[in-house]
Amino acid sequence: MPGEIFDFEWFVHNEGYNWLEADFSLDTVAPVGLPEGVGAGESIPWITVAGEPSSLSLLSRRRYYPLRDHSCLFRVFAETAIDPRGIVAFADRYGLLGVELESAPGRARPFIGTAEPISAWEREILSIRNALVLWDMVNEEDDQALERYLRPYVEAAKSDMEGGDASTGDIAAIAASAGELRWFRTRPEIPEQFTSGQLRQIALSRVQAIVNEHLGSRVSPRILWDDYQRGSWGLYFVPDSLAGAIWIQFAQAITENRDYRRCRQCDSWFEIDHYKARTNRYFCSNACRSKAYRERQQEARNLASTGMSVGDIAIKLGSDEETVARWIRQQA
């Protein structure tokens, strides 16, 4: 099928990653790609490859396939805490994003490897988080939540058109970026749509704008030879970085209306396969389903040891009396 997603590969350094405070006062010129508003002589946080330069070889990297191996990576990324522990933990598992790659500055000796400013990570996380919040509200048909979310933005746009000032309290409360406010303020149709109850249309338009902005030049069409599946040429969309792969995965979730759920056992996200048995829609793996089953059995036995009746245990665990009685007998 034309326009398929290429089986994108990425790398994770086995040594892991560190949070580094880089002091640009050691540089005579600010590095290319320095975050906006930051100049030479300032110290900002970066995330860098850990380990000594001699260890940063191709042999010290683990290769994996983000789009194949992690169907919910965009949701995992959106929930990443914007602090040293959260960002380093994500990088240790999935690697750097591939955004604003620079040689790490502020080092006493040459550093072989790459570093990314935390500000770039923060922008990516907040952007996909905002888009995902709107997308989930639309899918859940939660018009009340959409109304609360959109109102401050709409009021700002309406105030601009009327020549007034939006409530600074409302704007501050949503921690809106200049880009977000600009999008709403440059669309005069939004206040009328909001008043007429077209909340989902506004939300979907905003999600579309965010996703398209971040896909940008990160994903490009390529003609590639596929010797594995088709044995011929094929047209593919190829991400240029992990960030690009994350955004194209989110785009696929939207355009293909994919469904996701948290595992009842380990709380991790997984994509629901509607062609499988119903029980598979609550657990991410057979291992989690088996573990949950064993824990329910043990809970039934524990409750029975307190004197609770089989009927009450069945109600509490959402099972039937015959099954609960069998679990209890198996302990004897």
pLDDT at 134: 96
CA–CA gap between residue 256 and residue 258 (Å, rounded): 6
pLDDT at 87: 94
Identify whether 26 is part of a domain: yes
pLDDT at 214: 92
Domain boundary among 72, 91, 124: 124
Domain boundary among 100, 124, 148: 124
Identify whether 98 is part of a domain: yes
* Tokens 């099928």 belong to residue: 1
Identify whether 195 is part of a domain: no
Who wins on pLDDT, 38 or 188? Answer: 188
DSSP state of 39: -
CA–CA gap between residue 180 and residue 171 (Å, rounded): 11
CA–CA gap between residue 75 and residue 268 (Å, rounded): 10
CATH of the domain at 313: 1.10.10
pLDDT at 23: 60
Q: What is the pLDDT of residues 232-254, one digit of tens each?
A: 787 888 898 999 999 999 999 99
* Average pLDDT estimate for 66-81: 92
Confidence band for 221, pLDDT divided at 50, 70 and 90: confident
Domain boundary among 65, 92, 124: 124
* pLDDT for residue 277 is more than 70: no
* pLDDT for residue 33 is more than 50: no
Mean pLDDT score across all residues of the chain: 78
Least confident of 16-30, 88-102, 130-144: 16-30
pTM score, whole prediction = 0.75
pLDDT at 60: 82
Residues 193 and 202 sit within 8 Å (Cβ to Cβ): yes
Identify whether 75 is part of a domain: yes
Confidence band for 6, pLDDT divided at 50, 70 and 90: low
Identify whether 326 is part of a domain: yes
How many domains does the structure of the chain reveal? Answer: 2
Who wins on pLDDT, 301 or 125? Answer: 125
Residue-number span of the structural domain to which 86 is assigned: 8-124
Q: What is the DSSP string of 149-175?
A: HHHHHHHHHHHHHTT----HHHHHHTT
Identify whether 61 is part of a domain: yes
Identify whether 185 is part of a domain: no
CA–CA gap between residue 129 and residue 133 (Å, rounded): 6
* Average pLDDT estimate for 147-166: 77
* pLDDT for residue 101 is more than 80: no
DSSP state of 279: G
Who wins on pLDDT, 96 or 4? Answer: 96
DSSP state of 176: -
* pLDDT for residue 207 is more than 90: yes
Residues 237 and 5 sit within 8 Å (Cβ to Cβ): yes
pLDDT at 128: 95
Interacting residues of 110 by C-beta distance below 8 A, sequence separation 6+: 53
* pLDDT for residue 220 is more than 70: yes
pLDDT at 242: 95
Identify whether 104 is part of a domain: yes
Who wins on pLDDT, 273 or 323? Answer: 323
Who wins on pLDDT, 61 or 1? Answer: 61
Strands 4-5 and 232-239: parallel
pLDDT at 161: 66
* pLDDT for residue 56 is more than 90: no
Q: Helices 242-255 and 118-139: crossing angle, nearest 10°?
A: 10
